[in-house]
Structure 1
Amino acid sequence: MLFCLTSTKTIAHPHSFIDMRIAIDTQQDNYSGITYIWKMDPMTSADIAYELKGIKNDDPRWKKQEAIIMANILVQNYFTDFYYQNKKIKFKTIPNSYHLQKDGFQLVFTFSTSLAQPLPIANSLVEILTYDPTFYVSMTYQNKQQIDVPLEIAAHCNVILKEAEITDAMRSYAFSLDTDQSPDEDLALGKQFAQRVNIQCP
């Protein structure tokens, strides 16, 4: 699981839910990276918060939990496929920053990463998918406003949030999986449910 914790939920896939925001980072007319803000659902937050009960965010134990979460995200290449001109692009293996904080009864994990190399914005097509391959964790944007882009991109480029096109059969299969079951790896289940962020610039 994404946060190395066993959820107390007993429902079918997905078991945990993350409300996502991203900010597209740019530098000198180039795409440079992404900053992520992930808000965990109350149940998952409660699991993690229990481990951190009474601990302040400057405590070494809090820092250790931040590092554990970040390490699990790194193992999955930030849970993100980033395509530039239809070619998959790598991220740097070390994040720029990461931070865990509380927002009421929910936990929020913020982190930033850079692309392996800057990529020109002009005359480009970018597609971004962020998902848990197993679909154990549902990772979604509530709306297009949760995709933050610099003013120059907002003014000149077309930014689209595309919902996944899921068949009834695939939806039924995903929701039929019990807590101790894993989907067939060949199905790439999480990717099939992933939203797509498309940015096309002239």
Structure 2
Amino acid sequence: MLKHSAKLVNMEIAFSMRWISFPAILLSSLTLFSTASQAHPHSWIDMKTYIQGDKKQITGFKMVWTFDAMTTAYMLDGEDMSPESKTETLARVGDSVMKNMMNEHYFTYFYNDQEPIKYKIATDGVLTKDRAKATLTFELPLSKPQPLTKDSLRLLIFEPSYYVDMAWKAKNDIILSPELSKVCTFDLVEPNPSPEQMLYAQSLPPDADPDNALGQLFTQTVKLHCQSAD
């Protein structure tokens, strides 16, 4: 898979990068890295997504996003993580992340054919830290329930400029609610950028304006197949 091959190459050169403090990433839409390297991306998020609903409709998503160790370190750089302050610090940083992601639609794109499906404001945002990695958990309800369709629903989660690699590591990182699982299945489709697109992404200079078309080229797609309630 081209995306994950590129990820391994980028990890090998990550220590040569000049980073802006991580709060600038999620707190300013995940796109403010500065680096001497020309490689992309600069941060990695492993995702679990719980698709919520019943036998007739989808109502929203529960997200569990785990940041790589280096990103976590920069996220909390300069923060008071002493035992007596850790809980308060994580709550404050997590709240800031959630507020700023709202302006980017939580990097989540849900479609019925070509029509985007809208969300309410995310709730229950919680940032935790286990050893070297931080995890952000939140609920993302739809503005109104989406009726099930046979093949037209698809879900993508990505940072548009591809500075941040957001990926499901395996198909079982996408979980249907018990009721949905009775009437729906899904495919996890890996990205298939061309060699030219790969070379373009890797050739962008550090001072280039973000290319907000890159992320979608390198993102996975969940395609839902459901028994319509019609």
Please give the range of the TM-score, normalised by the shorter of the 2 chains.
0.7 to 0.9
> Does residue 2 in structure 1 map to residue 26 in structure 2?
yes
Secondary structure of 2:187 counterpart: strand
Bigger fraction of residues in strand? 1
The answer as to whether partners of 1:18 and 1:39 remain within 8 angstroms in 2 is yes
Q: Which amino acid aligns with 2:219?
A: A
Secondary structure of 2:122 counterpart: coil
The answer as to whether partners of 1:26 and 1:33 remain within 8 angstroms in 2 is yes
Partner of 1:84: 112
Secondary structure of 2:64 counterpart: strand
User: Where does structure 1 lack aligned partners over 5 or more consecutive residues?
Assistant: none
Partner of 2:100: 72
What RMSD, in angstroms, separates the aligned Cα atoms of the two structures? 2.2
Q: Tell me which moved more, 76-85 or 109-118.
A: 76-85
Partner of 2:126: 99
The answer as to whether partners of 1:82 and 1:127 remain within 8 angstroms in 2 is yes
The answer as to whether partners of 2:151 and 2:223 remain within 8 angstroms in 1 is no
Query: Distance between the aligned counterparts of 1:152 and 1:124, measured in 2?
Result: 18
1:92-171 paired onto structure 2 within 5 Å: 92=120, 94-121=121-148, 123=150, 125-171=152-198
Q: Could you state the TM-score of these two structures normalised by the residue count of structure 1? A: 0.87
> Does residue 43 in structure 1 map to residue 67 in structure 2?
no
The answer as to whether partners of 1:23 and 1:147 remain within 8 angstroms in 2 is yes
Q: Could you state the TM-score of these two structures normalised by the residue count of structure 2? A: 0.78
The answer as to whether partners of 1:82 and 1:128 remain within 8 angstroms in 2 is yes
Q: Which amino acid aligns with 1:2?
A: L
Q: Which amino acid aligns with 2:216?
A: K
Query: Distance between the aligned counterparts of 1:10 and 1:155, measured in 2?
Result: 50
Partner of 2:222: 197
Q: Tell me which moved more, 148-157 or 1-10.
A: 1-10
The answer as to whether partners of 1:86 and 1:126 remain within 8 angstroms in 2 is no
